[in-house]
Chains A and B, each alone.
Chain A
Amino acid sequence: MKRYILLTAAIALLIVNVQAQNFKETLQKTFVTFDTSFNMQTKIEQSNKLSMIAKKWNTEWVTHYYASYGKVILSYNERDEAKRDAYLDEAEKEKDEAVSILTKENDETYVLNAMIANARMAVNPMNRWQKYGKIFTDNLDKAKAANPDNPRIYYIQGTSKFYTPKAFGGGKKAAMPYFEKANGLFAKESDADITKPSWGKTANTYFFEQCKIED
């Protein structure tokens, strides 16, 4: 009987532990699943979960940061223009939330601003490049001023160059130095702590390899 009591107590303790569990683990698991999945349904599910995490632990800036990031990525994967913008509206709300917790922008939120601007532009490039192109570069400049060693700055810049037509000064050759620079900085970055964003390494390596292949 004693054994049962002990076991029951252990189980009760386990449940309490699960509830008091640090948000980091949940966030880590959800984000990694989101970031590594190529299945749209999974991505939507995990993005929804990121939003739920942000609601539950709404005083942690980083939960809002990831919730925002999730919506940006979904926007890129959506086809309907109105929905793409609606995702970005959500992304902006979460980003604003993160900034208000931080009380001011940091390099990661500047990068996020640049990503949102880039995604806005991608909805309708012909009509929006002028407006959002400037917001994009301005925010990356600010991110650089805040922390020049953030690899995501150069990764984002590289992808933008990568997709810009050659005639307008883009292309693989122009993009390569950015990915190269990001690669070096990613190597120095640790991914141990989810509250210190470290995403982008795999994708950066992929783009860097793509740049080596001649057109």
Chain B
Amino acid sequence: MTIVALLLSSSFANGQYNISGKVSDDKGRPLLGASVYLENTLDGSTSDSLGHFHFSTTEKGNQTIVVSAIGYATAGKPIEVNANISNLEFKLKSTAHDLESVTVTAGSFEASNERDKTVLKPLDIVTTAGANADIVKAIQTLPGTQQQGTQTGLFVRGGDASEAAMVVDELIAQSAFFTTAPGVAARSRFSPFQFKGIAFSSGGYSARYGQALSSVLELNSLDLPDKSNVNLGINMAGVYASGAKLYKTSAIEATGYYNNLQPFYGIASTNFDFYNVPKGGGGSAKYTYKPNKDGILKVLVNYAHFESGTIVPSPFVVGENLNFGIKNDNAYSTISYRQQFKNKWSFYTAASYSFNQDDVNYGAYTSLGKDDRAQFRAEAKWFAASKLSFLAGGELQNFNYSKKFDTAKWSTKNSFTETQAAGYIEADWSPIYWFAIKPGIRYEHSAMLNQTDLGPRLAMALRAGTHGQFSLASGLFYQIPDISYLLYDNKGLQMQQSTHYIANYQWMKGDRTIRVEAYYKDYNQLVRELLATNLPFDPNPYRTLNNTTLVNNSGHGYAKGLEFFVRDKKTIKNLDYWISYSYIDTRRLYKNYPMEATPDFISDHTLNIITKYYIDQWHTQLNVSYGYGSGRPYYNPNYDYAAHPEKFMSDRTPDYQNLSLTINYLRTIHKWFSVIYFGVDNITNQHNVFGYRYSTDGSTRYASVPALYRSVFVGVNFSLTEFNKDEL
């Protein structure tokens, strides 16, 4: 029997060898959990906390030993098994940097549901205190923007509102804001709930877009809804209802709303009186169809009517009030189709038509403004390789503006028609994981100005460490003169120009982001009014131009600045905050400015602190925002400008400050998911001043103030998602 035992053990000893060694990472640190085995066998083991592994095998001869670990490139080498093997050493290379590719971030903030690595999410925008679910108001908490209270629009890096384009599904939104009385800031027409992605570019944007000297705000509408749903809401500004019915490959959605600001203005002490409180309503319908996995068709129609009558300080005669009445009708429809083929090709085509009408009475004068726009876009993207793609496309725009004054004084109609064609091509190439480059060029032709331009664009990104990266963006941008000039006389006018140079550093790790961005922007060919005498200066932004006003493109200017952005969702549990600070130095000679000056919408220093705190136990979200803007320039006629030209626009208003709060309480009542929200804007009732206007003799001045200081807003939203009855 002993012989048998011996025979047995020797038989095994002869057929079995021990293999051992160590696995470490590229920095020589021991690697835990690596799988080490002989290929196509079950002989292997896993490395321990010291990186050691050992196993025995009955295999003999030439074998391949394989080492693999999550986050590291798999290593292998041939070995000959005919004795015990020890002290095998493996060094695995980290693939961490391959997991994230470098992306260009200079000049752009992206909020997307589809990508992980974005600074903001569409939901973050909805919940920003003081923004009242207005996309543009929320965007104004990001660096590069100006605080607003009396003017409508987005003011980006020294540019005025006309220089920022709003784009929905790659189509220009012609009337992106509601029309209001002079001196009353209007909100944008879009609800943040309509969009899956929002990208805000404060400069250096892609060749896909043009006709915006400073900024593009890009909105991408939602695809098929997740489930059929019904959404109902009531708040101090009105009531609304929406519903979506989801079929197998398509969906129909509809919304309807009626707004009346009586309850809202009723309890607030407004700075203006209303003889016709803002009211109106509208609706939309949307059809979405997915013919296949990678294609989507969207058809949308939208209509809204609003009217208001406001007693506002007259922009024409300082110190007097004026009845300003407006009836606005706005309709737009879009159709778009996107199709992707095997991750190789992506095609997109879209068309839209929009119509807007403003029926206005300025005291005793009436005017009727009409504009419409038809546009078409088609583009293709070719994913030539995993890190190389090409985009090429073209767009056509046709728009008409007319303004008819039906009074004894001006019985005139002014109008213009413009047709624009554009083509663009852009490459996106990342030859190596730490570098990406995006060159592009855009061709633009204006029929009205009979002018053709080429706008080159260039952006690149360079990885700096695991979490950091540098980006650069630059480009040449064109825009037709402001509508107010084109309506009267456009003979000889040309495109206005701006050149952007942007550099940024971004560090992003998990839920923490830090960004620093510096830029320089050069303005050329700005439109100037050639007045016989431009002093005394007329600071009225609503001043009426006429056919005798001579204009040319001799204006110019610059903007430069430094911006910081910090976001942190991690340090304190349930607390999410961001801080943005912008410094700007800008001067320009344009419009009726007698000399170069900082425009009246510029605060040199702007600060926003946005906080959101979720209290689990109470299902309550507490959002607090603080906004600050240093004093803004205004025109004081009491200086002797002949002797002291540098005094022009040198006076500054007091600083702007705003503290606001919203509380969202979430709960499910039966099957209804409910959000009850309560908000206070300008809690401290700060009397913010956005400028001053002087009486003709210069003896009395009147402050430009917002429609409201402190305001309270309350509402509730109920949503019901289809409960699948056969779920159980």
Contacts and interface: CB of A to CB of B under 8 A. Distances in A.
Given A4-B3, A55-B39, A166-B668, A41 B46 contact: yes
A93 interface: no
Contact of B113 (A8, A45, A55, A130): A130
Interface string B485-513: 00000000000000000000000001000
B616 interface: yes
Contact of B619 (A11, A130, A166): A166
B404 interface: no
Given A82-B96, A134-B226, A55 B40 contact: yes
Contact of A52 (B42, B99, B671): B42
A124 B116 contact: yes
Interface string A143-174: 00000000000100100000001111100000
Given A7-B4, A85-B99, A133-B226, A56 B668 contact: no
B699 to A, nearest CB: 57
A142 interface: no
User: Which 7 pairs across A and B sit closest by C-beta, in order of nearness?
Assistant: A48-B35, A167-B619, A45-B46, A44-B33, A167-B666, A130-B113, A169-B668
B569 interface: yes
Given A48-B35, A49-B44, A56-B42, A7 B7 contact: yes
A84 to B, nearest CB: 9
B45 A178 contact: no
A83 B35 contact: no
B667 interface: yes
Given A45-B46, A134-B226, A167 B667 contact: yes
- Greatest chain B CB density within 10 A among A51, A127, A154 is at A127
B93 to A, nearest CB: 14
Given A56-B41, A168-B668, A51 B46 contact: no
Interface of A: 3-4, 7-8, 11, 15, 26, 41, 44-45, 48-49, 51-53, 55-56, 74, 78, 80-83, 85-87, 90, 124, 126-128, 130-131, 133-134, 137, 154, 157, 165-169, 177-178, 181
A53 B116 contact: no
B4 A4 contact: yes
Interface of B: 3-4, 7-8, 11, 15, 32-33, 35, 37, 39-42, 44-46, 48-49, 58, 68, 70-71, 95-96, 99-100, 113-114, 116, 118, 121, 196, 226, 510, 569, 616, 619, 666-668, 671, 673, 727-728
A86 B44 contact: no
A74 B69 CA distance: 12
B8 A167 contact: no
Contacts of B11: 8, 11
- Greatest chain A CB density within 10 A among B46, B70, B727 is at B70
A168 B728 contact: no
A168 to B, nearest CB: 7
A117 B94 CA distance: 25
A88 to B, nearest CB: 10
Contacts of A169: 668, 671, 673
Nearest to B196: A130
Contacts of B7: 4, 7-8
A90 B72 CA distance: 12
A82 B510 CA distance: 9
A167 B667 CA distance: 4
Given A45-B46, A90-B70, A127-B116, 10 more contacts: A3-B4, A45-B45, A48-B33, A48-B35, A52-B44, A56-B40, A85-B99, A86-B99, A87-B70, A131-B113
Given A11-B8, A44-B46, A85-B99, A177 B728 contact: yes
A126 B40 contact: no
Given A124-B116, A168-B673, A169-B673, A26 B42 contact: yes
Contacts of A165: 616, 619
Contacts of B226: 130, 133-134, 137
B113 to A, nearest CB: 5
Nearest to B113: A130
A127 B111 CA distance: 10
Contacts of A53: 42
Contacts of B45: 45
Contacts of B116: 124, 127-128
Contacts of B41: 52, 56
Contacts of B196: 130
A107 to B, nearest CB: 16
Given A134-B226, A178-B728, A83 B70 contact: yes
A124 B115 CA distance: 11
B35 A52 contact: yes
Contacts of B666: 167-168
B728 A82 contact: no
Contact of B510 (A45, A81, A85): A81
